[in-house]
Amino acid sequence: MATVNEKQRTTGLKTSAFTKTVVRGKAAVRIMEKRKGERVFNGSDKIRNRMKSVRNIQKITKAMKMVAASKLRGVQTKTENSRGLWQPFVALLGDGFSVDVKKNVVITVSSDKGLCGGINSTSVKVSKALTRVYSGPEKETKYVVLGEKGKAQLVRDSKNRIELTISELQKNPLNYTQVAVLADDILKNVEFDALRIVFNKFHSVVSFPPTVSTILSPEIVEKESEAGGRLGDLDLYEIEGGETKSEVLQNLSEFQFSCVLFNAVLENGCSELGARMSAMDSSSKNAGEMLDRLTLTYNRTRQASITTELIEIISGASALEG
């Protein structure tokens, strides 16, 4: 028979083992809770925050698309009406794109705002290509830049060629009077034999090819006419009223430039809105696809987290029972 001391010793050993098991169980529970918090923070919460950000961006892109679409209707009507201004001048004076002159001025029409695809980059590339084409011995090519985006790109490697920059031209609804004043300012401050206006011509919301319109100085037009070259139908008309041909050409050239520039700015503005609509539509679709992927990842992360927690709870319970 066991003595009293032996019974007490046996009971004490059992109590000590039970206490250690309970302590280990509590420690396991604390570790589980800590790991659970880390998993939630590092997994589900991050994905949920990312989903919230993408959803907000999608709302912004959809709103920008709607704003561009509402503005496009009015600008498109004005643009189509402006085409009737410059077309008679092409028939009368011609479009002397191939006429070789010494002083060329490339007028690059761009936008002040971004998020409109690659229309500004296209205009700048065409402008640089024209500079290479019309460069040579005893020749000079300068830039007049309309819009901040074109200026930002051209100033990197062609800063010395820029004669004049104009921004915020379309901050308010554009009219012919504003462009006529701008055209007069360019004619007074820039010497040229030919003005090459580069812009994006609006065809539809997905089509706006780069276009170049050429305005020759009155002296070059008269010189080409006297040399036997025919630019347009001006020589078919008889000049009346006592004005000389030089005076008529001077007036026609200035009016032609203001009309062509007015149409070019409107065409490019219309193309900008169309490009922005397409860009924002693509962005909204991409945001939707990203949300679908994030939702799938979020659900998988939650499922994995719940499964892991169940396994740990069962393991902890088994440890307590054992």
Domain with residue 92: its CATH number is 3.40.1380.10
For residue 190, is it within any domain? yes
For residue 12, is it within any domain? no
For residue 4, is it within any domain? no
For residue 315, is it within any domain? no
CB 168 within 8 A of CB 235: no
pLDDT at 126 over 80: yes
What pLDDT digit, counting tens, does each position of 290-307 carry?
Answer: 999 999 999 988 888 888
Decide: pTM greater than 0.85.
no
Distance CA(80)–CA(87), nearest Å, equals 12
For residue 268, is it within any domain? yes
Residue type present at position 300: R
DSSP state of 201: P
- Burial class for 171, CB neighbours closer than 10 Å (0-12, 13-18, 19+): exposed
Largest CA distance in the chain: 147
CB 183 within 8 A of CB 254: yes
CB 237 within 8 A of CB 225: no
Q: What is the mean pLDDT of the chain?
A: 84
Question: Looking at per-residue confidence, does 189 or 18 come out higher?
Answer: 189
For residue 173, is it within any domain? yes
Mean pLDDT lowest among 200-214, 238-252, 304-318: 238-252
- Domain of 152 in residue numbering reads as 77-233+242-278
Distance CA(243)–CA(271), nearest Å, equals 41
What pLDDT digit, counting tens, does each position of 153-175 carry?
Answer: 999 989 999 999 999 888 888 89
Domain count, the chain: 1
For residue 185, is it within any domain? yes
For residue 52, is it within any domain? no
